[in-house]
């Protein structure tokens, strides 16, 4: 499932989590339903979410719940956009210079706010014994470590890093337990983290 939300400034930004949850619920509730009912439910949910956002002063908001591929998108009249989903792939426009660990993409999102693009992804990798494998991929690609915090829990390890290469800034959290690594990437403009 992919959810895309585009929201303006002020109170409307607080609507993003609520709209994402409502949109996700609408997509899940339509699973397995007759195609006609699913389409009608999808359109009704889109309109209800758009009206709620617009009533909160967001201006013209367009929400697209695409039940076929699980994508949801929201765009406002100012051109701000948020797209998110579960499972599958990194966002289509994920920066090529930002490598991620080899594993399953559990969630991914991208957004544009005031002309600045950011991306996020959660990746789960099997057979990982060292939390630093993701750090090593990024430093090998030319990213400098800006900050680093590591914790060994005895059962595994947890780390938080910030990286920068002059074009992109990255916040990365990683945890490894029992040979499984979970990594949360957030990528933005240089100097973001």
| pTM, 2 dp | 0.69
Please tell me the predicted confidence (pLDDT) of residue 129: 85
pLDDT tens for 120-163 read 999 999 998 889 999 999 999 999 999 999 999 888 999 999 99
Please tell me the predicted confidence (pLDDT) of residue 75: 81
Contacts of 131 (CB under 8 A, 6+ apart): 150, 156, 157, 158, 159, 174, 175, 176, 181
Please tell me the predicted confidence (pLDDT) of residue 110: 93
Q: In the chain, which residues have pLDDT < 50?
A: 1-33, 36, 67
Please tell me the predicted confidence (pLDDT) of residue 52: 64
Please tell me the predicted confidence (pLDDT) of residue 29: 44
Please tell me the predicted confidence (pLDDT) of residue 177: 94
Please tell me the predicted confidence (pLDDT) of residue 145: 98
Please tell me the predicted confidence (pLDDT) of residue 4: 39
Domains contained in the chain, number? 2
- Looking at 61, 88, 115, the residue that finishes a domain is 88
- Looking at 88, 109, 134, the residue that finishes a domain is 88
Residues 16 and 83 in one domain: yes
CB 137 within 8 A of CB 101: yes
The answer as to whether 140 is a domain residue is: yes
Residue 79 structural domain:
2-88
Name the H helices within the chain: 15-29, 35-53, 133-140
The answer as to whether 118 is a domain residue is: no
Among the listed residues 163, 174, 102, the one whose alpha carbon sits nearest the alpha carbon of residue 138? 163
CB 8 within 8 A of CB 80: yes
Please tell me the predicted confidence (pLDDT) of residue 86: 76
SS3 121: strand
Residues 20 and 76 in one domain: yes
Residues 6 and 79 in one domain: yes
């Amino acid at each position: 499932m992919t959810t895309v939300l585009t929201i303006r400034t002020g109170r409307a930004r607080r609507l993003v989590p609520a709209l994402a949850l409502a949109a996700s619920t609408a997509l899940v509730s339509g699973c397995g339903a007759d195609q006609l009912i699913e389409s009608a439910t999808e359109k009704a949910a889109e309109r209800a979410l758009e009206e709620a956002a617009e009533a909160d002063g967001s201006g013209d908001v367009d929400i697209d719940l695409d039940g076929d591929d699980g994508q949801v998108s929201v765009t406002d009249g100012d051109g701000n956009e948020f797209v998110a989903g579960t499972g599958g792939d990194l966002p289509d426009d994920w920066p090529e210079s930002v490598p991620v660990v080899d594993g399953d993409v559990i969630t991914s999102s991208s957004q544009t706010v005031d002309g600045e693009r950011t991306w996020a992804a959660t990746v789960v990798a099997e057979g990982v014994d060292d939390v630093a494998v993701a750090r090593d991929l990024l430093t090998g690609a030319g990213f400098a470590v800006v900050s680093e915090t590591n914790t060994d829990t005895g059962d595994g390890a947890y780390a938080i890093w910030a990286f920068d290469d002059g074009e992109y800034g990255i916040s990365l959290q990683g945890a490894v337990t029992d040979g499984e690594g979970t990594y949360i990437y957030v990528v933005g403009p240089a100097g973001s983290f």
